A and B are shown apart, each in its own frame.
Chain A
């Protein structure tokens, strides 16, 4: 296996983490929305921002795989 292949596997692991993270954010956001529908707008915005943060970590992994 080439170094590129190993890098891709590393990025894949990063993506698994991000997937779980975003899933967890989505789950909690849905729960919170169901409990307190009145602050839904705020929840959506923060969920989206948090998802962006988690995604950034995965993207760092992907970029790291692009560097090698």
Chain B
């Protein structure tokens, strides 16, 4: 019975002591310790958040880079294609032109040849005509002198004509 009867004195001193302990510890121990722990935890939280943000930004940046790279690649592709097209066009154009030129030149040449041929024919005709007239003239002149002579003349004339 004695054991479980609280003594008034000890109750009094316990209450006083605990009250003082509580107040002193609250002010000089728990406040700084809990404050520091809180401060550190918020610090860590903030740091983690910042890291997370940075990582996200990094990811965004990477995605951006990827996009830009892709765009550049596409552009290059397009440019190459254009260039190839232009080249092909130029080549085909040139070919065509050359073809045309060649055809034109050939036609011109053919025309020129034709003309030359025609003029040569005309000259030949003229020449043959004048030669015939000349021969006729000479023949006529010889016939007038001597028969033999005439024959001779014709003979020589003919050989001349052959040489010519």
A contacts, CB < 8 Å to B: 63, 66-68
- Fill in one digit per residue for B106-129: 1 if any A CB lies within 8 Å of its CB, else 0: 000000000000000000000000
Write the nearest CB–CB distance from A54 to chain B, whole angstroms.
Answer: 20
Interface residues of B in 1-36 (CB under 8 A from A): 1, 3-4
| Chain B residues within an 8 Å CB radius of A63 | 4
Interface residues of B in 91-113 (CB under 8 A from A): none
Interface size on B, residues (CB 8 A): 3
| Chain B residues within an 8 Å CB radius of A66 | 1, 3-4
Could you list 7 examples of A-B contacts with CB < 8 Å? Answer: A63-B4, A66-B1, A66-B3, A66-B4, A67-B1, A67-B4, A68-B1
CB nearest to A67 among chain B residues? B1
| Chain A residues within an 8 Å CB radius of B4 | 63, 66-67
- Report Cα–Cα, A4/B3, bound state, in Å: 14
- Report Cα–Cα, A50/B3, bound state, in Å: 27
Write the nearest CB–CB distance from B61 to chain A, whole angstroms.
Answer: 38
CB nearest to B1 among chain A residues? A67
- Report Cα–Cα, A67/B2, bound state, in Å: 8
Write the nearest CB–CB distance from A23 to chain B, whole angstroms.
Answer: 28
Write the nearest CB–CB distance from A2 to chain B, whole angstroms.
Answer: 15
- Report Cα–Cα, A68/B1, bound state, in Å: 7
| Chain B residues within an 8 Å CB radius of A68 | 1
- Report Cα–Cα, A68/B4, bound state, in Å: 11
Write the nearest CB–CB distance from A11 to chain B, whole angstroms.
Answer: 13
| Chain A residues within an 8 Å CB radius of B1 | 66-68
Write the nearest CB–CB distance from B5 to chain A, whole angstroms.
Answer: 9
- Report Cα–Cα, A63/B1, bound state, in Å: 9
- Fill in one digit per residue for B56-84: 1 if any A CB lies within 8 Å of its CB, else 0: 00000000000000000000000000000
- Report Cα–Cα, A66/B4, bound state, in Å: 8
